[in-house]
């Protein structure tokens, strides 16, 4: 039975369908489980965008794991980064001596992730790695290493599966490109 997908009025086209998303998350979960075999992992979900991705990814990682959350912003209500990163919610527990996997929805310029890696690195974890659902390599300005990447994208404004437009459209089951008239 094929899944019927309805486009939101803001969506120009579907870039990544729900099946492809779930297949890639399963692959990432296997890879992470293999790389951290025999170790405990602290998964740091970057709110709000990464919550759906993190939820599905955690179920595919076959390791002892703790889950914590951070909320940061550099976009506000714009479609472009302001260049200023603000921590809105910090971790609940210490990560000192622990293996940390930061899970993010999208890396665009890399500014936010670069800031997070520095802040969390100062807390003396055993290791920090980055897992991102979507990456726009052509926009990256900061030299950060992405350890696990779901999908590499062109420079288009995308929403769905946690990615939002002014707080909306996170609930779409796919990742879609926003129509040009809305992406301002």
So which residues are the catalytic ones? Answer: 108
Any idea of the CA torsion for 93, 96, 98, 99, to the nearest 10 degrees?
100
Phi, psi of 150 (to 5 degrees): -70, -60
Cα–Cα dist 77/15, whole Å: 23
Peptide bond into 56 cis (omega under 30): no
The b-or-e profile of 78-107 (16+ CB within 10 A means b, else e) is eeebeeebeeeeebeeebeebbbbbbbbbb
For the record, the structure tokens of 23 come out as 């297949």
In sequence order, the 6+-apart residues with CB closer than 8 A to the CB of 74 are: 81, 82, 83, 84, 85, 86, 111, 112
For the record, the structure tokens of 130 come out as 């980055």
8 A C-beta contact, residue 107 and residue 135: yes
Phi, psi of 19 (to 5 degrees): -65, -45
């Amino acid at each position: 039975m094929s899944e019927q997908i309805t486009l939101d009025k803001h969506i120009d086209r579907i870039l990544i369908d729900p099946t492809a998303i779930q297949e890639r998350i399963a692959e990432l979960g296997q890879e992470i489980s293999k790389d951290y075999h025999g170790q405990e992992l602290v998964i740091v979900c970057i709110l709000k965008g990464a919550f759906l991705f993190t939820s599905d990814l955690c179920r595919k990682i076959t390791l002892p794991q703790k889950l914590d959350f951070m909320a940061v912003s550099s976009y506000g209500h714009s479609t472009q980064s302001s260049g200023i990163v603000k921590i809105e919610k910090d971790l609940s527990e210490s990560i000192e001596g622990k293996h940390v996997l930061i899970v993010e929805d999208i890396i665009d310029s890399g500014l936010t992730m670069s800031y997070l890696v520095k802040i969390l690195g100062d807390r003396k974890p055993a290791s920090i790695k980055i897992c991102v659902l979507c990456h726009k390599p052509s926009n990256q300005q900061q030299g950060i290493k992405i350890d696990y990447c779901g999908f590499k994208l062109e420079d288009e404004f995308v929403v769905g599966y946690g990615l939002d437009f002014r707080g909306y459209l996170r609930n779409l089951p796919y990742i879609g490109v926003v129509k040009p008239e809305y992406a301002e």
